[in-house]
Structure 1
Amino acid sequence: MTFIIRPADLNDLQPIYEMAKRTGGGFTNLPPDRKALMQKLERSAAGFDRVGEEVADDLYVFVLQNTATGEVRGTCQIFGKVGQRWPFYSYRIGALTQHSVELERTFRADILNLSTDLEGATEVGGLFLHPGERAGGLGMLIARSRYLFIRNHRARFADRTIAELRGVIDEAGGSPFWDGVAGRFFGMSFQEADEFNAKFGNQFIADLMPKHPVYIAMLPDSAKTVIGVPHPSGRAAMRMLENEGFAWENYIDIFDGGPTMTARTDQIRSIRDAKDVKITAVSDDVGEHKSGDKKLITLGRLHAFKAAYGWIDDTGDNVIIDSNCARALGISAGDAVTYVERT
């Protein structure tokens, strides 16, 4: 059984919609709404079709497909440049230190500042893997394939890349952070705000959110304790991001308080360590318990992009790929591929 990553097309609407219904809320980039998802797929098609090579407000949607059954079992997204259609808001955690001579005491207050610092960055997001496939490194395949796409289309992406992790959601589907902060100003539940944002964007935040700083000490404990904390299902994703060189620099999501991770694009591990080679041969003698090492392998540009795990025996003079991966990705001797170590 082989899984490949490929660009999504309009025929993938139904399986993506079925996955979106499984997210459990707070997953803004994958709303369980057919119209919103179709708009995403149409926007993605336009991004893959675009001729220019500059950084732009593109969206690229990918799917994980089982080549044996044809089933779509996962998805992910890349946003070329956020904050172009509407402001890209985050809360940045800062501090204010004040000293009282009379009391001989220094006071330090942690503050949430509404910020658009991350506007213009590239964003990786929308990653969802069907529960039945959360083994065998498929989550890492989906996540890391995005970085190799960015690497091989580098001019289309910014020098900083971000990833927003979903924050803590309670058993009722609400957000303690939303209830303690923004919900007090908007008169709507987290589910209502999250759904509206997924369908129409967050311009309403610009219209209604107070611009003054929020003192964290004044928030209820339920909100304070989840600031910068990922949803339990996102802890593995956070570790993967950290392994790629992303770090949390005190930016959080304005809806659920989840951490926003940032990295310099060229320093992302998969981008930095990837290698371009030309395949000299395809062989059944390369593979598990045979010669070669397991790699994450990609080839093709834009609509032709594909990625999968495979085995490569790279001696420098000869680069031999296993037959199974070659069939899945349509690779023949003489083709140029990019690979990175499977870790």
Structure 2
Amino acid sequence: MSSFRIRAARDEDLQHLYEMAKLTGGGFTNLPPDKPALRAKLDRSHAAFARGEDAEVADDLFVLILENVETGEVRGTCQIFTRVGDKWPFYSYRIGTVTKHSQELKRTFRAEILSLVNDLEGCSEVGGLFLHPGERAGGLGLLLARARYLFIAQHRARFADRILAELRGVIDEAGGSPFWDGVAGRFFGMNFQQADEFNATHGNQFIADLMPKHPVYTAMLSESARAVIGLPHPSGRAAMRMLENEGFAFESYIDIFDGGPTMTARTDQVKTVRETQRATIAAIAGGGEPALVASGTLSEFQSALAQITPSEGGITLDPVSAEALGLSVGDSVLWVAR
């Protein structure tokens, strides 16, 4: 139970989002430290919330906020994209193998190649998760991550059958990307930070315009570029484990900018989506088991860490969570064990 809740982002959150974006350290495409780009994200989110529960799957973005209910402080954010690749193509590199056999040498050669693909177009995506460094304890990262799946469970018709999550790749001490320097950077005349900022604010069509379409043999890359293919940024290892716990897997797709892993899952097989239950609040009292609870739809959606006791007549919810979410006996909620 906590005095923190997840809620829909509002216009007045722009400055908070901007302050958090400045703390990311770069390579965080979904949270650029650029106010017009963040403003555009909020506008897209408002439009998505306004489209109604029964709207078909389209290119929507939902921005959620982690708020301390007692102080009103914004301490984290996350994003959900309902279908990637509508506005501009969604590019990935797929790691593959080419096998060749020489009869004369009596040897088989296997070469690893990177192919530019749009295989993941049409998937939903969870991303843009950032938790303020001062709050990285007490399960708030887990609340941010899993509240997205509760939101998906509550609005399942708005999401695709497959879902992906891109993990930030390895960034060096100078803020550069060994993968970018070894592959795309050679064709673009801009460093990783410039390309990343451009992508965050203008989209990645420039990749389609300038990127070579033929496969890249990894043997021809620098050792530093090869070494980071498919590896998450050290700060993203916990996020990768959390995704694996939800049922996401790495299936040889990597980010075209930094080479970080793209994790995928069937939406209905995501653990939190699969295990979410609906219940009515039968009583408000202390004690119980740790859980995540959510209520409301679209812009009224909210979620918090809680303690509950399930019974045939509904659930008993702890008073702190009930107050944080403004819930009372008789209200309907979603819940999932923590």
* Alpha-carbon distance between aligned partners in 1 of 2:324 and 2:219, rounded to the nearest angstrom: 55
Worse-superposed segment, 318-327 or 119-128:
318-327
Q: Please state whether the residue corresponding to 2:41 is helix, strand or coil.
A: helix
CA deviation vs aligned residue, 1:14-38 (integer Å, no higher than 9, x gap): 0110000011110000000000000
* Alpha-carbon distance between aligned partners in 2 of 1:304 and 1:318, rounded to the nearest angstrom: 22
- The answer to whether residue 200 in structure 2 is matched with residue 204 in structure 1 is no
CA deviation vs aligned residue, 1:97-120 (integer Å, no higher than 9, x gap): 000001000000000000000000
Matches within 5 A, 1:53-202: 53-202=55-204
Residue from 280, 299, 303 that aligns with 2:295: 299
Partner of 1:219: 221
Q: How many residue pairs get matched? A: 336
Matches within 5 A, 1:307-322: 307-322=303-318
* Alpha-carbon distance between aligned partners in 1 of 2:301 and 2:312, rounded to the nearest angstrom: 24
Residue from 325, 335, 341 that aligns with 2:337: 341
Runs of 4+ deviating beyond 6 Å: none
Q: Please state whether the residue corresponding to 1:279 is helix, strand or coil.
A: strand
* Alpha-carbon distance between aligned partners in 1 of 2:275 and 2:6, rounded to the nearest angstrom: 20
Partner of 2:280: 278
Give the letter for the 2:190 counterpart.
M
Give the letter for the 1:195 counterpart.
E
CA deviation vs aligned residue, 1:12-65 (integer Å, no higher than 9, x gap): 000110000011110000000000000000110000001342111000000100
2:308–2:315: 8 Å Cα contact kept in structure 1?
Answer: yes
* Alpha-carbon distance between aligned partners in 2 of 1:327 and 1:24, rounded to the nearest angstrom: 35
Matches within 5 A, 1:20-59: 20-51=21-52, 52-59=54-61
Once the 2 structures are TM-superposed, how far is the Cα of residue 332 of structure 1 from its aligned partner? 1.1
* Alpha-carbon distance between aligned partners in 2 of 1:196 and 1:252, rounded to the nearest angstrom: 19
CA deviation vs aligned residue, 1:130-171 (integer Å, no higher than 9, x gap): 000000110010000000100110000000000000000001
Q: Please state whether the residue corresponding to 2:224 is helix, strand or coil.
A: helix
Consecutive unaligned residues in structure 2, runs of 5 or more: none
Once the 2 structures are TM-superposed, how far is the Cα of residue 318 of structure 1 from its aligned partner? 4.3
2:279–2:314: 8 Å Cα contact kept in structure 1?
Answer: no
Partner of 2:12: 11
* Alpha-carbon distance between aligned partners in 2 of 1:27 and 1:324, rounded to the nearest angstrom: 34
2:83–2:125: 8 Å Cα contact kept in structure 1?
Answer: yes
Consecutive unaligned residues in structure 1, runs of 5 or more: none
Task: Using structure 1 for the length normalisation, give the TM-score.
Answer: 0.97
Task: Using structure 2 for the length normalisation, give the TM-score.
Answer: 0.98
